[in-house]
């Protein structure tokens, strides 16, 4: 399929629309025929930014093969629940009830008369070693798909943010095309880039916002564990939905002064402890690091807390757009 064809898509587990933005970046005339999710906060943000897209607040288990055939999309994108596979979770994997929707979707895919030509899936590292992963690949093989698997990080695409993720790129096998089996790749199918400095993603106007500042006592207490970046840093910690709930393990903070942290380690210098000026990143700045475009907006009725939580569950738009471009050119 050439990228000049008007592509149609169903966006399962759509979240706030990261996959939609990635598709629009490579093919502006593409049509997302349905965006599906059950998270009301995410759908509010999605609807605000894509007001003309048909949004279905449905359990994916309700989709039958006949309905999917009628939608007749070229591409399915999806980022299924990652909690069954995260290191911080219970790691119940295939037995976790949050896998049920993906199982049902695969059941219906097998029954379809007009299955999508392409499927793009993203999940956390750890999914690739799960029983759910094996079931997914078995179903795709049985329906005539071939695929490539990657574990990649935005830092490989010029983005100063660590967010390693598993990506599955599938397309229907052509007649007489040989079946390929390859190991999961850890190098992108496009040239790697040196990450840009964090300063390119920061809004300086927020530096004096006292509501974003971390208390001096918190900086002192958690100094060794905090991830703190300056404008010259070229990496930052993975942002999760718990950013602002906890100080560690959920994302990076910003050194306003710029000389209190070590750009190599993203740690506060031992000599710099008095008078630290460190703040949270704003939702817009987190969105910048997730490569959401400038037109992506926070709805008036969505709180910062909802924005942080949904961004933490989203995808990196630049990574997805480049991988989709590669997939659709096959």
Residue 30 within a domain: yes
Helix (H, G, I), strand (E, B) or coil at 83: coil
pLDDT in tens, 29-39: 999 999 999 99
Decide if pLDDT at 93 tops 80.
no
88 and 21 in a single domain? The answer is yes
Task: Give the closest residue to 171 by CA, choosing from 323, 30, 66.
Answer: 323
CA distance 73 to 85: 28
Better pLDDT: 19 or 262: 19
Q: Could you tell me the two tokens for 274?
A: 């008095």
223 and 181 in a single domain? The answer is no
Range of the domain at 27: 8-187+316-328
pLDDT in tens, 42-51: 999 999 999 9
pLDDT band at 64 (very low <50, low <70, confident <90, very high): very high
Residue 297 within a domain: no
Q: Kindly report the backbone phi and psi dihedral angles of residue 9, in degrees, each rounded to the nearest multiple of 5, phi listed first.
A: -145, 145
14 and 121 in a single domain? The answer is yes
75 and 120 Cβ atoms separated by less than 8 Å: yes
290 and 252 Cβ atoms separated by less than 8 Å: no
Which residue(s) pair with 171 in the sheet?
A: 118, 146
pLDDT in tens, 124-164: 999 998 889 999 999 999 999 999 999 999 999 999 999 99
Span between the terminal Cα atoms of the chain, in Å: 7
Active-site residue among 14, 82, 153, 219?
Answer: 82
241 and 312 Cβ atoms separated by less than 8 Å: yes
129 and 221 in a single domain? The answer is no
Q: How many domains does the chain have?
A: 2
Which residue(s) pair with 32 in the sheet?
A: 9
Task: Give the closest residue to 299 by CA, choosing from 41, 25, 27, 11.
Answer: 41
- With tokens 């698997």, the residue in question is 149
Residue 129 CA: distances (Å) to CA of 17, 164, 184: 27, 15, 11
Decide if pLDDT at 114 tops 60.
yes
Residue 124 within a domain: yes
CA distance 149 to 185: 6
Residue 82 catalytic? yes
């Amino acid at each position: 399929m050439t990228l000049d064809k008007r592509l149609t898509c169903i966006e399962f587990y759509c979240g706030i629309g990261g996959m939609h933005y990635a598709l629009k970046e490579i093919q502006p005339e593409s049509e997302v025929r349905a965006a599906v999710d059950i998270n009301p906060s995410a759908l509010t943000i999605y609807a605000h930014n894509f007001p003309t897209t048909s949004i279905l607040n449905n359990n994916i288990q309700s989709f039958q093969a006949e309905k999917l055939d009628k939608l007749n999309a070229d591409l399915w994108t999806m980022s299924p629940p990652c909690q069954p596979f995260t290191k911080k979770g219970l790691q119940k994997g295939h037995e976790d009830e949050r896998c049920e929707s993906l199982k049902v979707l695969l059941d219906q895919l097998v029954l379809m008369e007009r299955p999508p030509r392409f499927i793009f899936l993203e999940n956390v590292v750890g999914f690739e070693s799960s029983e759910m992963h094996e079931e997914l690949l078995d179903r795709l093989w049985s329906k005539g798909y071939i695929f490539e698997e990657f574990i990649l990080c935005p830092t490989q695409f010029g983005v100063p943010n660590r967010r390693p993720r598993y990506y599955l790129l599938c397309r229907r096998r052509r007649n007489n095309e040989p079946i390929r089996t390859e190991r999961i790749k850890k190098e992108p199918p496009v040239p790697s880039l040196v990450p840009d400095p964090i300063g390119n993603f920061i809004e300086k106007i927020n530096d004096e916002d006292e509501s974003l500042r971390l208390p001096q006592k918190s900086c002192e207490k958690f100094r060794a564990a905090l991830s703190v970046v300056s404008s010259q840093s070229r990496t930052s910690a993975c942002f999760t939905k718990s950013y602002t709930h906890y100080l560690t393990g959920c994302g990076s903070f910003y050194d306003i002064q710029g000389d209190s942290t070590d750009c190599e380690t993203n740690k506060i210098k031992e000599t710099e402890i008095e008078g630290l000026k460190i703040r949270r990143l704003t939702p817009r700045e987190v969105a910048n690091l997730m490569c959401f475009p400038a037109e992506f907006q926070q709805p008036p009725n969505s709180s910062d807390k909802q924005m942080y939580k949904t961004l933490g569950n989203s995808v990196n738009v630049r990574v997805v757009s480049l991988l989709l471009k590669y997939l659709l050119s096959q």
